């Protein structure tokens, strides 16, 4: 994107994800003739996270409670701004919390530091960070069943820190046929 180069901007792709203990990816085993029993938590426990990646392998993330809103989104955007010397181009989906009136007014006041862009509605395959979300959930499943919120968050934090230390893994999320268009942007 020429505009990013002209404005010396770093392009971040953003999205939220929820990791929970009641997902159906838990597997069990029992010998032939014995009914398998899988301990399933009846209480729904969820950990929410927002993350941002660049095609240069940078990863930023933040865990939060409750539902995403404009204040939480703005707070994360502020973290991105303070974490770089460059202007930030933030590309996200069309969640209402990403483009409400309060956020729009804030973004207009901070045009020297940030610019917001939105992907088309109903096109998650175009957002490279969706591949990060998928990777996170897959790795959480490999860690096994979590019994409480603290354990889910600890497992998610472990996965995210591991991903954060492997730039080439983050860069690989830009290799899919649907996200290759974003690979050369900002390089």
Whole-number percent of the chain with pLDDT over 70: 89
Residue 36 placed within a domain: no
How many alpha carbons fall within 13 Å on the CB side of residue 77?
Answer: 27
The structural domain count of the chain equals 1
The CATH number for 48's domain is 3.30.420.10
Residue 131 placed within a domain: yes
pLDDT of res. 186: 47
The pTM (predicted TM-score) of the whole model is 0.86
Domain that holds residue 71: 2-25+43-182
Number of residues written out for the chain: 187
Q: What is the pLDDT of residues 129-182, one digit of tens each?
A: 999 999 999 898 888 777 888 999 999 999 999 999 999 999 999 999 999 888
How many angstroms separate the Cα of 123 from the Cα of each of 79, 98, 110, 128, 161?
Answer: 26, 16, 28, 11, 27
Model confidence at 187: pLDDT above 90:
no
Residue 37 placed within a domain: no
Model confidence at 26: pLDDT above 60:
no
Model confidence at 93: pLDDT above 80:
yes
Q: What is the pLDDT of residues 36-63, one digit of tens each?
A: 776 655 667 889 999 999 999 999 999 9
> Between residues 8 and 36, which one has the greater pLDDT?
8
24: helix, strand or coil? coil
Residue 38 placed within a domain: no
Phi, psi (5° rounding) for residue 30?
-150, 150
> At 185, is the pLDDT very low, low, confident or very high (cuts 50, 70, 90)?
low
pLDDT of res. 60: 98
């Amino acid at each position: 994107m020429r505009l990013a180069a002209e404005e010396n901007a770093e392009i971040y792709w953003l999205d939220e994800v929820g990791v929970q203990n009641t997902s159906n990816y838990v597997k069990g085993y029992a010998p032939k003739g014995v009914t398998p029993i899988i301990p399933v938590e009846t209480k729904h426990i969820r950990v929410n996270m927002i993350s941002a990646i660049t095609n240069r392998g940078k990863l930023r993330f933040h865990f939060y409670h409750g539902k995403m809103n404009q204040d939480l989104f703005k707070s994360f955007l502020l973290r991105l701004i303070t974490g770089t010397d460059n202007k930030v181009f933030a590309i996200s989906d069309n969640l209402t919390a990403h483009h409400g009136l309060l956020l729009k007014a804030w973004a207009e006041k901070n045009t020297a530091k940030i610019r917001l862009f939105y992907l088309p509605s109903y096109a998650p395959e175009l957002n490279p960070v969706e591949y990060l979300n998928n990777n996170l959930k897959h790795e959480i499943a490999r860690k096994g069943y979590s019994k409480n919120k603290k354990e889910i968050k600890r497992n998610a934090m472990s996965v995210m820190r591991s991903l954060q230390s492997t730039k080439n893994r983050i860069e690989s999320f830009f290799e899919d046929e649907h996200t290759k268009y974003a690979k050369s942007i900002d390089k």
